[in-house]
Chain A
Amino acid sequence: MTNSNPLINIIKTLQGIGHRMVERIWRLGAGARLFFLTIVYSGESFKRFHLTMREIYSTGVMSLLIIIVSAFFVGMVLALQGYNTLQKYGSSEAIGVLVSLSLVRELGPVVTALLFAGRAGTAITAEIGLMKTTEQLSAMEMMAVNPIARVVAPRFWAGVISMPILAALFSMVGILGGYIVAVPLIGVDEGAFWSQMQANVDFQSDIVNGIIKSLVFGIACTMIALFEGFDAPPTAEGVSRATTRTVVISSLTVLGLDFVLTSFMLVI
């Protein structure tokens, strides 16, 4: 059945590229539409805030352990590696600056978002995908209940609220981890550790910008997880593929957005 005419093969390849392109753009549009509808139907999730509370529990509180443990280790490793390099230049007191700036500016928001996508994002996708597969969303619609207002919006706001909290916790716990390695273990002067940090970490340009980043990541990760779940083909295979896609797309989006946001923040 192979066609020897090269022109037809080229046309077929182009068609394939075009088809995939159209599909990507279609998905982007569908995602944007869901985002818009989520915002429009958000009233319910604030009027009946316990709906959102439930989701904050399952996205935020349930992610606490993984966030705290990872942050602690990331902070400790940063301090170890930082000390190793800094002491060659005789400035091991700057270790606090290194740990805190890398955590507050980059690692806090980014690693939190990556862990969030893996822990909470997949859970959201799988849950909504299964709700769709088992006709729960259809049942809700037939009961005259809007699934976007009842299912999607509370999860969205829970993610948006949880992410900055988790990122702030990540940064703080990471700094504590760095402190434990630097001060009691390595023997860096405690006063120098904190004062150098305070002199170099700016509340506005470092901490607030880090929080803004995590807020944007929160919107992106939660929305991707929700859309993938909502869009998943109602089969076991479809849900599992959607879950994988949530992690891949969220991670890439977070890293890409991080670059864009950082470049904006450094310019301003």
Chain B
Amino acid sequence: MTNNIVEIDNLSFGYKGRLLHKGINMVFPRGKVVAIMGGSGSGKTTLLRLIGGQIKPSKGEVRVHGDVVHKQDRDGIFKLRRKMGMLFQQGALFTDLSVYENVAFPMRELTDLPNSMIHDLVLMKLNAVGLRGAYTLMPAELSGGMARRVALARAIALDPAIMMYDEPFAGLDPISMGVICSLIRSLNDALGATSIIVSHDVKETFLIADYVYFVANGVVTAEGTPDDLMKSTLPFVHQFVHGDKDGPVPFHYPAGNYQSELMKHG
């Protein structure tokens, strides 16, 4: 048994012949925080959905604990998912349930724990994200950062072995961003889990990631530790890390000749 909890092996995925991923290889070792970075629309979130088995790859495979995800039947996938926790981009809290019930949801649905134990566990998880005092609130009453933290508490409710974060920093103020950032690292170390972060926020991601994959045009263009990548001279990585306007990723969407298009209707 290798030390890699999740392995992506020569993975291709696409809709109707148009490939989003063209032969991607990644490994996610136990206990590490690994980030997948890339521009918007580069298929980062789709990778998480492939790991979670919500969609099937066109070619290649994703292995979780050595099991090929897309070859599992429904029960098998559900069994794998019980070892995963996922933080969605907008938190995806259940709006008709209170904060307490949201965190209790996975325990009620997937375990037969008695109510008293669920109560203790929920308060423990909420305490870990610093929101024990807010357990009576409804999701609508929470700020964006608080909602993200409640969602985090819900994601770790069953102590998953794999944590997946989909854009955990998007749309947060700097303070909430810092809080989430340190929570991801500390929870990962406390749970002994493997974390996969999908993000395009370079600063925060580099702060907590052990290893980073860059995805562009459907392939892994660069990988390495944050320090390596900061020093990288690869044009794409340099542009992404330092946020240059133009570079290998052009400012303009591919278009015809500007002048001739202007003249066409003139």
Contacts and interface: CB of A to CB of B under 8 A. Distances in A.
A134 interface: yes
Given A134-B95, A136-B93, A144 B86 contact: no
Interface of A: 127, 130-131, 134-136, 138-139, 141-146, 150
B52 interface: yes
Interface in B159-214: none
Contacts, number: 48
A144 B54 contact: no
Contacts of A138: 54, 88, 92
Contacts of A135: 88-90, 92
Contacts of A142: 52, 54, 81, 84, 86
19 contacts: A135-B89, A136-B94, A136-B95, A138-B92, A139-B86, A139-B88, A139-B94, A141-B81, A142-B54, A142-B86, A143-B86, A143-B110, A144-B77, A144-B78, A144-B79, A144-B81, A144-B82, A145-B106, A145-B110
Nearest to A133: B90
A141 B110 CA distance: 12
B109 A134 contact: no
B81 A139 contact: no
Interface residues of B, number: 21
B15 to A, nearest CB: 16
B105 interface: yes
The 10 closest A-B pairs by CB, nearest first: A139-B92, A135-B92, A144-B81, A144-B78, A142-B86, A135-B88, A145-B109, A144-B82, A143-B106, A136-B92
A130 B106 CA distance: 20
Interface string B54-85: 10000000000000000000000111011010
A143 B105 contact: yes
Contacts of A131: 94-95
A171 to B, nearest CB: 32
A14 to B, nearest CB: 24
Contacts of B105: 143, 145
A150 B54 contact: no
B110 A144 contact: yes
Contacts of B90: 134-135
Contacts of B52: 141-142
A10 B56 CA distance: 40
A173 B123 CA distance: 48
A113 to B, nearest CB: 25
A82 to B, nearest CB: 44
Nearest to A142: B86
A213 B106 CA distance: 39
A154 B110 CA distance: 18
A145 B81 CA distance: 9
A144 B109 CA distance: 9
A138 B89 CA distance: 11
B195 to A, nearest CB: 15
Nearest to B74: A146
A264 to B, nearest CB: 39
A235 B48 CA distance: 21
Nearest to A48: B108
A88 B53 CA distance: 73
A131 B84 CA distance: 21
A143 B89 contact: no
Contacts of A146: 78
A146 B81 CA distance: 12
B88 A143 contact: no
Contacts of A145: 105-106, 109-110
Contacts of B88: 135, 138-139
Interface string B77-121: 111011010101110111110000000011001100000000000
B94 A143 contact: no
Contacts of B89: 135
A54 B189 CA distance: 39
Contacts of A134: 90, 92, 95
Contacts of A143: 81, 86, 105-106, 109-110
Nearest to B82: A144
B109 A141 contact: no
Nearest to B77: A144
